[in-house]
Amino acid sequence: MDGKIRTKAFAGSMAVVSAVSAVFLFIAPLAVTRAAPPDYAGLYSRGDYAGAYEVIRKRLLAIYDERVDNRRIPADFITAKRLEERININDLYRNRTAEGFFIENNIELHNLHLGAARCLFRLGRLDDSLNHYGQCLRFKEPEPGKDDVILSEIADVFRGRGDAGAYARALEAAYALNPENREHSRRLGIALYRTADRKKAIFHLERYVRWKGEGLEEPGLYLLIANLNEDIGNYLETARFYREYLAAKPDDGHIHFALGHLAFKRTGDWGLARASLSRALELLPEGDIFRRSKAYEYSADMAMKDLEFEKAADLYGRTIVYQDRIKKRLEEKDREIEKLASDIRGVKSSLFKKPDFDTYNRYEFLMEEESRLRTERKEGLYSYSKLNAGRVRWNMAECYERLGKPQEAMRYYRECIAFDYDPSGARDRMVKIQLKISRGY
């Protein structure tokens, strides 16, 4: 069954290669290519790609000058002096048959076109390189377990042309021709990472990392697999590959935070969540306000659900410190924008009174600065909105109620009203707390 699937994938991919005419990155030395003329192999090995291509081009011209079957007669040569000749030409057109992509087994032509493709790739002439790759495939039947290297090189040309779809399809053809080459799976998994084929990307990347085992030199591949699994809702697998990554990169605070977030929000593994968030707080830079604030918030939520109200209040207090820092930054940004707007109005007024090139340049600069500051403010406001400032204060107030500290609880319910977080509910709570205070309990 697998063989049929691979054959089908190879056939489909070859259609793409033949339509565009194909590509090849020079991986194996030309000197070991069968029937490789020694004159261009030496030039290529010395890096003289232009010289090597010229030798190949002349040899191809000499060969095709002797092969007239597939050459087109110039239209200027066609005359109709006799009716019979004209009829013969029309019959020839009407009775034409379509030739297949594969023409014949001709190792010399195969190698010459392959060499030309590799030289042109090195020279940056990608379209011409693709054409010669396509031609080389017409003169030799692909050999499983061997010629996948040609399709891999074709993929490199497509990548150079910025054609991500054809790049992936060429890699799939290479994989179908030689599944034992795990490098095809690595490249194909990365190529498919940002496409809708997430499960196929996972298959190939997992296949590669399993094969490498402890010898894996790219721990970032674990993150790719984790992200893909998270996209399709496989959260336990996501956590597993985060752990694999952290085994290789234990000091990455961002991934410790991501694992803690996943464990708290998705898998319910609070033991893992606490350990990961605690480690993240040790490693994250102090300036990473958003993650540090959320790490304290999640830890506080868990403590509150465990009825550890004093611990929860302390952790909520820590997250509020970071929330207030973002709020302060937003206020500073507002003052900067206000001052800049005032400067712009002044420069604009000067321009109306007396047009001046230098003044106009200053006006343009100030306008760009204002746009940048407004963008930064918008991003900061979005981050602040995700910190749940109102909900955190509500939980803080509840903790203080449970701890028998009504005045502190009243303070945070007032802040809930200021943040417009369930203001009617906050007022009701404040009324009840006030009644308890007045009654002495």
d(CA 262, CA 230): 9
At residue 252, the 3 state secondary structure works out as coil
Tokens of 43: 């030039």
Tokens of 96: 């034409």
134, 159, 176 - which closes a domain? 176
d(CA 304, CA 77): 92
The CATH number linked to 213 is 1.25.40.10
Q: What is the pLDDT of residue 89?
A: 45
Q: What is the mean pLDDT of the chain?
A: 85
d(CA 393, CA 408): 11
d(CA 312, CA 393): 12
At residue 290, the 3 state secondary structure works out as helix
Q: Which helix (H) or strand (E) holds 119?
A: helix 107-122
Same domain, 96 and 47: yes
d(CA 239, CA 272): 10
284, 302, 323 - which closes a domain? 284
Q: What is the CA radius of gyration of the chain?
A: 35
Would you tell me how many other CB atoms lie within 10 Å of the CB of residue 331?
A: 10
Tokens of 271: 């033991």
CA dihedral 146, 151, 156, 159 (to 10 degrees): -150
Q: In 232-356, which residue ranges form alpha helices assigned H by DSSP?
A: 235-248, 253-262, 270-283, 289-305, 309-353
Asked if the model's pLDDT at residue 22 lies above 80, the reply is no
Asked if the model's pLDDT at residue 8 lies above 70, the reply is no
Same domain, 160 and 189: no
Same domain, 268 and 294: no
d(CA 111, CA 133): 10
Tell me the average pLDDT across 21-45. Answer: 53
Same domain, 301 and 406: no
Q: What is the pLDDT of residue 228?
A: 97
Same domain, 8 and 133: yes
**Contact indicator for 241, 229 with CB cutoff of 8 Å:** yes
Q: Which helix (H) or strand (E) holds 149?
A: helix 148-160
- Domain span including residue 377: 285-385
Same domain, 344 and 377: yes
Same domain, 372 and 273: no
d(CA 275, CA 283): 13
Cβ-Cβ contacts under 8 Å for 166 (sequence gap 6 or more): 16, 20, 158
Asked if the model's pLDDT at residue 180 lies above 70, the reply is yes
CA distances from 323 to 179, 254, 367 (A): 52, 19, 30
Same domain, 41 and 155: yes
Q: What is the pLDDT of residue 33?
A: 41
Of 365 and 381, the one with more pLDDT: 365
Per-residue pLDDT tens for 307-360?
999 999 999 999 999 988 888 888 888 999 999 899 899 888 888 888 888 888
Tokens of 207: 């296949």
Same domain, 292 and 272: no
128, 151, 176 - which closes a domain? 176
Same domain, 245 and 166: no
CB-based burial, 155-169: b 16+ in 10 Å, e otherwise: bbbbbbbebeebbbb
- As a whole-number percent, the residues of the chain with pLDDT over 70 amount to 83
Same domain, 185 and 269: yes
Of 384 and 29, the one with more pLDDT: 384
Q: What is the pLDDT of residue 356?
A: 84
For tokens 């906050």, what's the residue? 426
Number of domains comprising the chain: 4
Report which of 77, 44, 27 is spatially closest to residue 183, judged by C-alpha positions: 27
Same domain, 67 and 139: yes
d(CA 433, CA 226): 48
